[in-house]
Amino acid sequence: MNALTLENLDISYGDTQVVHGVNLSIAEGESFALVGESGSGKSTILRAIAGLAPDWEGEITVMGEKRSHRVERSVSRQVQMVFQDPYGSLHPRKTIDAALSEPLAIHGIANRGERVEAMLTAVGLDRRFRFRYPHQLSGGQRQRVAIARALMLEPKVMLLDEPTSALDVSVQAEILNLLKRLRREQGLTFLLVTHNLPIVSFLCDRLAVMRHGRIVEIADVAQLKAGQLVEPYSRELLAATEGT
Amino acid sequence: MRVGSSAVGDLIVPSPLRGEGQGEGFFTTGNRRCLLMTTRAWLLADSPTSRWQASAGRTYRVFTQLLRNPLSVLGGVIILVLLLTAALAPWIAPYSATGQDLANRLMPPSAAHWMGTDELGRDIFSRVIWGSQITLTIVLLVALISAPLGLIIGAVAGYFGGWVDKILMGITDIFLSLPKLILALAFVAALGPGINNAVIAIAITSWPAYARIARAETLTIRNAEYIQAVQLAGGGPIRLIVRHILPLCTSSMIIRVTLDMAGVILTAAGLGFIGLGAQPPLPEWGAMISRGRTFILDQWWVATMPGFAIIIVSLGFCFLGDGLRDVLDPKSEGKS
Amino acid sequence: MTPLLAVEDLRVSFPTHSGRVEVVKGISFTLGRERLGIVGESGSGKSMTGRSILKLIRKPGLVTADRMEFDGIDLTALSEHQMRAIRGARISMVMQDPKFSLNPVMTVGEQIAEALLTHQKLARKDVHQRVIAMLEAVRINDPERVAKLYPHEVSGGMGQRVMIAMMLIPEPELLIADEPTSALDVSVQAQVLDIIDELVRNKGMGLILISHDLALVSRYCDRILVMNAGTIVEECAAGELANAQHPYTRGLLAAMPTIDEAREELPVLDRTQWAGT
């Protein structure tokens, strides 16, 4: 079964259409990357799947169920999202414990304390962090908390919006390792948005290159590693990455 | 500031180096000091072990920062004195607030009557002390009615946007466009004079400002990623507004309410002065000034003493509000 | 030949509730008319180093140095007034995000002209010519039109080119670029850096390029300083970066995924090793 299918997806913000007729299907357990420059519409697709960009037409199917245009409780146990900015994605007045317990409280799940501690361990955070406030954490630690929060409801699909672009190289490596391990352990499906091709090589199985709201090319990561992308724009991106 | 801290901050491996090490030196000097320092260390712990400790630590940090600003300490002391005076009025006041002594009319300040007496021979000092109860009641009731009202209306308008926002803010703007005192006057005139009606009138005129603040704050928070994360977890609008948005609005609201308290006292006094607030013989400060106005040239103390009380308490709220703003301002959060 | 810039035992510290914390802990380096890269992660003190050369560290931050000489001038002894004559005219700085560095109510042309006029007296006609020439130099295709635009009307990449034009028009001898491209898309990054590179070479200026990106710095610089926790842990020629000796540098290099990544797991820095230094 496909974890995620997009059919003829058009997304608009107000009067401007930012995504044009995107078709995509991602198998369960697959790790798929959307690659492109800012303004290419790649993040917008994630937001539409999550329900945060309600102005779309076409069809979005998650784990066999058609998505409505809103955020829904039942969907929240299937799909979760990790945001780009670890400094903006945690409530400044809530402890880590409160942030992680919140999804459980919403869904009436018991044993919150134990689950929070288990999840902290799973994302490699010491128990000492449980009652800290976000401003007492570094960027990498915050991103671990954000990942933990997304995993609290045991979703099948994780939407990752540039999860490491705000982090230092060495912290990025830790987070990438963590994501890879969690995916392996929990059989997650990833849809990763990034502009960084080496990250795709490390973390993903397939990728789609986007430009101006359209998919230019869908390729295997093996093709990316071998430098065998076909479309001129994809090759341009690849060249820019290798150049620096 | 991230500089410096993050070099060590990313330690994922548990390290005994951080935080805990600082406390050690304190335990060598005397038992009493040791106990004090452990409480302090407990409050300032880098890694609290319970929800309660985390919030106690936060409160403690806010409190110590507040103590660093002399003006806010002064404000706090004034408000504390006001609270004590109101609570202990029966024991502090040397005379009754309403007992007349026509033989001693309009006596200047003396050892027997520290602030003199008024035109009915009542001791002004006692009346000022009893008056603090009335002032405090008005201030508290206004704050309790108008702040939550404004907070909820503003947050709802800001969160939902669209026509909800248009209607709620339209109403708010109508109230805002009328001068406060005049609007309060109109309400009291319609409801009839008296303290309760004065409180209602002042509350009705002061919530729109809070609604505006809460809405502006909500608009900046609404699209934050931590709010979206709760939405994605399935949280509904009530949970989002009450548990996630309102806590972030409260600090600016506390600041604003504290600063506005001075205005509320003045409005209440103004209503009392015109005769639409507290009715005689209640020792309301504004009403007292109004009575004293007749004698202001010959017996200055009758109007001046309650005037001082109003000014000091208003200043107290202003100082405290200013201090709170420096400490609670969300923009400076995390720097300390 | 005396170096363009000589820094000895530079220290920058900030007060915190647990005492003063040094973010730059006594670093020394010299710079000729060359391109020097300073690399490090956030909190390494690299930006503070760049700012302290221009004395842009505000109170309560404290900067001390045994020696900080620019072209024979002792920067530590200069007053704020004298510093202003050097900033922009002889040492310029390009910051990370053009959005926050450009004045939103002035046109691009006016701002570049102002940068020039602050330090030189010129006729209006000459100023206009210089501005247009400068915009051309940063490869803006239609300089006459762009000069009349406001900052919000230009894209991120163009905004950063405008910033560079502004910083280079007084023809400074030293350019400090602090993460000049990290707010830009990959393809635009290369363009902007190429422009900086070309101008710096042609005019024989000194360049300090501050960045977190090892690959980028090694491509655009002659010499590299690697900073960690306020100290310089490694200094090497750009071409020699692959043979870096210090474990921190090697760790950083290894932690970056590559385009033909085959590793199952990325090596992670063991931070405990440097936490104390």
Q: Which domains does chain A have, with CATH numbers?
A: 2-243 (3.40.50.300)
- Cα(B324)–Cα(B252) distance, rounded to whole angstroms? 9
CB B43 within 8 Å of CB B57: yes
Q: What is the pLDDT of residue B37?
A: 58
Of C255, C257, C268, the CB nearest to A201: C257
CB A179 within 8 Å of CB A124: no
- Cα(B268)–Cα(B137) distance, rounded to whole angstroms? 11
Minimal C-alpha gap between C258 and chain A (Å): 5
Residue of B nearest to A171 (CA): B10
Judge: A103–B234 Cβ closer than 8 Å, yes or no: yes
Bridge partners, residue B335, by sequence: none
Q: How confident is the model at residue A238 (pLDDT cuts 50, 70, 90)?
A: confident
Domain locations in chain B as residue ranges: 17-67, 70-332
Determine the residue among C259, C265, C268, C274 to mutate to test chain A binding: the one whose Cβ has the most chain A Cβ atoms within 10 Å. C259
- Contacts for C42 with CB less than 8 Å, ≥ 6 apart: A139, A168, B2, B3, B6, C212
Judge: B336–C17 Cβ closer than 8 Å, yes or no: yes
The answer, for B5 touching chain C at a CB cutoff of 8 Å, is yes
Mean pLDDT of chain C: 85
Q: Is A35 helix (H, G, I), strand (E, B) or coil?
A: strand
Judge: C266–A243 Cβ closer than 8 Å, yes or no: no
DSSP code for C133: H
Q: What is the mean pLDDT of residues C95-121?
A: 84
Cα-flanking dihedrals φ and ψ of residue A53, to 5°? -120, 85
Of C22, C43, C48, the CB nearest to B5: C43
CATH of domain B70-332: 1.10.3720.10
- Cα(C193)–Cα(C130) distance, rounded to whole angstroms? 22
CB A97 within 8 Å of CB B51: yes
Residue of B nearest to A155 (CA): B233
- Cα(A119)–Cα(A125) distance, rounded to whole angstroms? 9
Q: Beta A79-82 vs A65-66: how paired, if at all? A: unpaired
Judge: A71–B232 Cβ closer than 8 Å, yes or no: yes
- Cα(A1)–Cα(A63) distance, rounded to whole angstroms? 7
The answer, for B7 touching chain C at a CB cutoff of 8 Å, is yes
Q: Which residues of B touch A150 (CB under 8 A)?
A: 229
Domain locations in chain C as residue ranges: 5-258+266-273
- Cα(C9)–Cα(A202) distance, rounded to whole angstroms? 41
Q: Could you report the per-residue pLDDT of B226-285, keeping only the tens digit for each?
A: 999 999 998 889 999 999 999 888 888 888 888 888 888 888 888 888 888 888 788 888
Of A94, A106, A130, the CB nearest to B235: A106
pLDDT at B26 over 60: no
The answer, for C43 touching chain B at a CB cutoff of 8 Å, is yes
Q: State the pTM of this model.
A: 0.81
Q: What is the pLDDT of residue B276?
A: 84
ipTM value for the complex: 0.89
- Cα(C24)–Cα(C211) distance, rounded to whole angstroms? 16
Q: Which residues of A touch C219 (CB under 8 A)?
A: 243-244
Q: How confident is the model at residue A127 (pLDDT cuts 50, 70, 90)?
A: confident
Q: Is A218 helix (H, G, I), strand (E, B) or coil?
A: strand
Judge: B10–C271 Cβ closer than 8 Å, yes or no: yes
Residue among C223, C226, C227, C95 nearest C166 (CA):
C95
Judge: C259–A37 Cβ closer than 8 Å, yes or no: no
Q: Which residues of A touch C263 (CB under 8 A)?
A: 202
Judge: A202–C267 Cβ closer than 8 Å, yes or no: no
B179-218 residues touching A, CB cutoff 8 A? none
Of C48, C271, C274, the CB nearest to B3: C48
- Cα(C16)–Cα(C194) distance, rounded to whole angstroms? 40
Minimal C-alpha gap between B270 and chain A (Å): 39
Q: Which chains touch C (3 or more CB pairs under 8 A)?
A: A, B
E strand or H helix at C78: none
Q: Could you report the per-residue pLDDT of B73-87, keeping only the tens digit for each?
A: 999 999 999 999 999
Class of domain C5-258+266-273: alpha beta
CB A227 within 8 Å of CB A238: yes
CB C232 within 8 Å of CB C226: yes
pLDDT at A3 over 60: yes
Q: Which chains touch A (3 or more CB pairs under 8 A)?
A: B, C
For residue B133, which amino acid is it?
Q
- Cα(C172)–Cα(C167) distance, rounded to whole angstroms? 8
Length of chain A: 244
Judge: C185–A170 Cβ closer than 8 Å, yes or no: no
Residue of B nearest to C19 (CA): B22
- Cα(C257)–Cα(A184) distance, rounded to whole angstroms? 19
Q: How confident is the model at residue A198 (pLDDT cuts 50, 70, 90)?
A: very high
Q: What is the mean pLDDT of residues A60-72?
A: 87
Q: How confident is the model at residue C200 (pLDDT cuts 50, 70, 90)?
A: confident
Tokens of B278: 């507290």
Length of chain B: 336
pLDDT at A1 over 80: no
- Cα(A99)–Cα(A107) distance, rounded to whole angstroms? 14
